[in-house]
Amino acid sequence: MNDIQARSIPVVILAGGRSSRMQAEGLTGDKYLHLLDDKPVIAHLIERLKMQADHIALNSNQHQSDLSRFGLPVIADQFAYNSGPLTGILTAMHYAKDQAFVVTAAADTPFIPSDLLEKLLSQQQTTQSDVVFATSNGATHPTFGLWRTNLAANLSSWLAQGHKPSVISFAMTIKQTIADFPVQSLPDGSTYDPFFNINEPADLIKARQLQKQLNR
């Protein structure tokens, strides 16, 4: 793999969502800071990433004091574009500019696969793509991707031109591919999507039930 080790690739967790669906139904605060098995949702993600990566940072423009307790660098968006995850992805590219690649991950996804980085890198090395997105259960997860960091100027220019702030729309302008991850099995014989994310109170309830089964 050209001597690139998956563990050496920086990971930036995108923690910039407004949690609007969660708050609309009466739960205050950021969704990734709600408790799941006595720990914030994002803490579960960090634990899983630490088994795969040597360097992890958090991208957020708010609640930086809350996030600092996790002992990771917290980086605010470095650009004025109001472009959702793409602004965070651009910030991640600049943050990891001394590396060939950076991986981005969503803060509200506590059950990610244990081979996320390894599989993304393997697919990139096979296809030489500019970005590799994670997919599962027939869905693409645009916030989970391995990006070439030298795409930063390209992405900045694309955003400055006022294009629709869609991760997939930008990816259509470069060489992209996917790495597919299977659903995971539970002790009771059922399965779950490892990229299950928490957007609303019902999702948090489901995540807590899922965590109980994983703890068995």
List, as residue ranges, the binding site for GTP.
14-16, 31, 59, 77, 108
Of the candidates 15, 11, 42, which has an alpha carbon nearest to the alpha carbon of residue 204? 42
- Which parts are annotated binding residues? 14-16, 31, 59, 77, 108
Q: Is 184 exposed, middle or buried (0-12, 13-18, 19+ CB in 10 A)?
A: middle
- Which parts are annotated binding residues for Mg(2+)? 108
